[in-house]
Amino acid sequence: MGLAALAVAGAAHPAQPHVTPPDWLRRPDATDIADAYPPVARALGVEGRVVIGCKVDIKGLLDDCQSLSAKPAGLGFAAAAVSMSHGFQMTPTLVDGKPVEGGRVRIPVRFTLAADDARLVLPPVAPALLNPARQAAELSGLVDRLAAIRASELDAIDADSLASDPAVVTDALAALRDARTDDRTRLANAVAGAIAVRLTTAEISQWLAYLKSPGARKLAADNETIARATAAVQVAHIRRTMARARETFCRRQDCVTDIDLAGMRQLAQAEAPIIDRPVWAQEPSPAQAQSAFPLSIQAFRLSGWAILQCRVTAPGGLEACEVLVQGPRRLGFGAGALRAARAYRLSPDLLAQGAAGDTVNVPVFFQTPRDNPSAAIPPKPSRELNLARQIVRAQGLAERDQQLGDVGQRLFSSDRGLDDAVRRDAGEAFRGALIEDFPNLLDAQAAIYVATLTPAQLTDLAAFTQSPTGRLAGGRDEGFNRLLAAVLADLEAEDRAITRASFCRLRDCRLD
Q: DSSP secondary structure string, 204-238? A: HHHHHHHHTSHHHHHHHHTHHHHHHHHHHHHHHHH
Phi then psi for residue 192, to 5 deg, are: -60, -40
Whether residue 245 lies inside any domain: the answer is yes
Q: Is residue 328 part of a domain?
A: yes
Identify whether residues 267 and 333 lie together within a single domain.
Answer: yes
Both 384 and 246 in a single domain?
yes
Which pLDDT belongs to residue 482?
A: 92
Q: Which of 77, 261, 237, 52 is nearest to 169 (CA)?
A: 77
What is the structure's pLDDT at 1?
A: 43
Out of 55, 87, 111, pick the residue that ends a domain: 111
What value does the CA radius of gyration of the chain take, rounded to a whole number of Å?
32
In a domain, 340, yes or no: yes
Q: Is residue 470 part of a domain?
A: no
DSSP code, position 278: -
102 lies in a domain? yes
315 and 403 assigned to the same domain: no
Residues 380 and 247 in one domain: yes
* CATH, residue 361: 3.30.2420.10
Segments forming the whole domain that contains residue 248:
236-252+376-460
pLDDT of residue 6: 36
In a domain, 221, yes or no: no
Residues of the chain with pLDDT under 70: 1-15, 102, 116-120, 158-163, 259-264, 266-269
Domain stop point among 320, 340, 366: 366
User: Same domain, yes or no, for 358 and 280?
Assistant: yes
The string over 376-392, giving b where at least 16 C-beta atoms fall within 10 Å of a residue's C-beta and e elsewhere, is beeeeeeebbebbbbbb
Nearest Cα to 18, choosing from 95, 91, 93? 95
Shared-domain flag, residues 268 and 346: yes
Whole-prediction pTM: 0.73
> How many domains are there within the chain?
4
Tell me what pLDDT residue 450 has: 96
Q: Are residues 342 and 439 in the same domain?
A: no
Predicted confidence at residue 451, as pLDDT, reads 95
3-state secondary structure of 49: strand
Residues 104 and 39 in one domain: yes
Q: Which residues contact 396 (CB under 8 A, 6 or more apart)?
A: 474, 475, 476
Residue 305's nearest CA partner among 297, 315, 313, 317 is: 297
If asked whether residues 342 and 383 sit together in one domain, one would say no
Between CA 111 and CA 47 the distance in angstroms is 6
The helix/strand/coil state of 321 is strand
Which of 366, 401, 434 is the last residue before a domain boundary? 366
Cα four-point dihedral sign 380, 384, 387, 388:
negative
pLDDT at 160: 62
Burial class of residue 237, CB neighbours in 10 A (0-12, 13-18, 19+): buried
Residue 1 in any domain: the answer is: no
Asked if residue 217 is part of any domain, the answer here is no
Question: Residue 163: what pLDDT?
Answer: 62
Same domain, 382 and 290: no
Shared-domain flag, residues 288 and 335: yes
Whether 274 and 355 share a structural domain: yes
Listed in order, strand segments (DSSP E) in 452-510 are: none
What pLDDT does residue 15 have? 64
